[in-house]
């Protein structure tokens, strides 16, 4: 099984990158499954049901999120009604939505997707992701050996430690949130593919997808600024992971950094 994970989609430029680049990526890599982090896909702030529907229509099979989950009030409809849409697992009990889902995609073996948020330098402070993720992975393995994890976190050390803990328990752990693609893709001894951060899909002539000048003004003056989504040098970032469907172990991981011409 070949899976493409698309790093944080930022605004309309990011969605355009998915629309225009995904078909060729699907063909080139013989992709079976597409998972995307969509928490910045609505103008850089959150996601709406209409945008989620657009991403599903473009071929995305599951959408993960993170700390911008609540930026659009319409997200409640997704949380309550869409099993392919995930929020971080480690919200308190009773929070709408789900942190994991076992999906049956076309004629493929069942695939589990797990979404977890870190705590170091992150807001809001959620429950401890380490014991919760271990327990959830144990439960998911009763349904499938193929488990993909989006760990939405800031600190590199927390991401590496979290993935090391899950080595051999899940197929892959890929980090999101920092919007900067790292060059540390690897397969751990237990068969878990790992990448600290997938990067982001959107305008790269920017500061993490936002127009440069307002961000500079904020740093220079400490005064509030409006951070609009930038427009230029649009790229799709992510990772292609090949997984043995029988064992659930990763066979290969390759970073993706595709420029929209």
Contact present, 97 and 85 (Cβ < 8 Å) = yes
* Domain definitions of the chain by residue range: 2-259
Burial per residue of 103-112, b for 16 or more beta-carbon CB atoms within 10 angstroms, e otherwise: beeeeeeebb
| pTM for this model (two decimals) | 0.97
| Residue 45: both structure tokens together | 């702030």
Instruction: Decide if 143 is catalytic.
Output: no
Q: Which of 180, 208, 243 has its CA nearest to residue 4?
A: 243
Please tell me which residue in 29, 68, 177, 237 is annotated as part of the active site.
68
Q: What is the pLDDT along the chain (261 residues), one digit of tens a residue?
A: 999 999 999 999 999 999 999 999 999 999 999 999 999 999 999 999 999 999 999 999 999 999 999 999 999 999 999 999 999 999 999 999 999 999 999 999 999 999 999 999 999 999 999 999 999 999 999 999 999 999 999 999 999 999 999 999 999 999 999 999 999 999 999 999 999 999 999 999 999 999 999 999 999 999 999 999 999 999 999 999 999 999 999 999 999 999 998
Task: Tell me the C-alpha distance between 217 and 234, whole Å.
Answer: 23
CATH superfamily of domain region 2-259: Metallo-dependent phosphatases (3.60.21.10)
Residue whose entry in the numeric block shows the structure tokens 């409809």: 77
Task: Tell me the C-alpha distance between 179 and 37, whole Å.
Answer: 11
Half-sphere exposure of 90 (CA within 13 A, CB side): 24
Q: How many CB atoms lie within 10 A of CB 222?
A: 7
Q: What are phi and psi of 221, to 5 degrees?
A: -110, -15
């Amino acid at each position: 099984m070949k899976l493409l994970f698309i790093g944080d989609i930022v605004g309309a430029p990011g969605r355009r990158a998915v629309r225009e680049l995904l078909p060729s990526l699907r063909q080139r890599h013989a992709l079976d499954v597409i998972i995307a982090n969509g928490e910045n896909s609505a103008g850089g702030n959150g996601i709406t049901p209409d945008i989620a529907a657009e991403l599903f229509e473009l071929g995305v099979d599951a959408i993960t999120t993170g700390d911008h989950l609540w930026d659009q009030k319409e997200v409640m409809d997704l949380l309550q009604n869409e099993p392919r849409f995930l929020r971080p697992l480690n919200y308190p009990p009773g929070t709408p939505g789900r942190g994991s889902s076992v999906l049956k995609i076309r004629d493929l073996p069942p695939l589990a997707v797990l979404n977890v948020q870190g705590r170091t330098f992150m807001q809001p402070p959620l429950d401890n992701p380490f014991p919760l993720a271990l327990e959830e992975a144990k439960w998911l393995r009763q349904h499938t050996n193929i488990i993909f994890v989006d760990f939405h976190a800031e600190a590199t050390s927390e991401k590496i430690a979290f993935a090391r803990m899950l080595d051999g328990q899940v197929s892959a752990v890929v980090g999101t949130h920092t919007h900067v693609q790292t060059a540390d893709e690897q397969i751990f001894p237990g068969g878990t593919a790992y990448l600290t951060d997938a990067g982001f899909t959107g305008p790269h002539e920017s500061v993490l997808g936002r127009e440069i000048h307002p961000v500079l003004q904020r740093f220079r003056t400490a005064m509030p600024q409006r951070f609009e989504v930038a427009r230029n040098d649009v790229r799709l970032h992510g990772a292609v992971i090949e997984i043995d469907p029988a064992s659930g172990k990763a066979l290969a991981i390759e970073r993706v950094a595709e420029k929209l011409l």
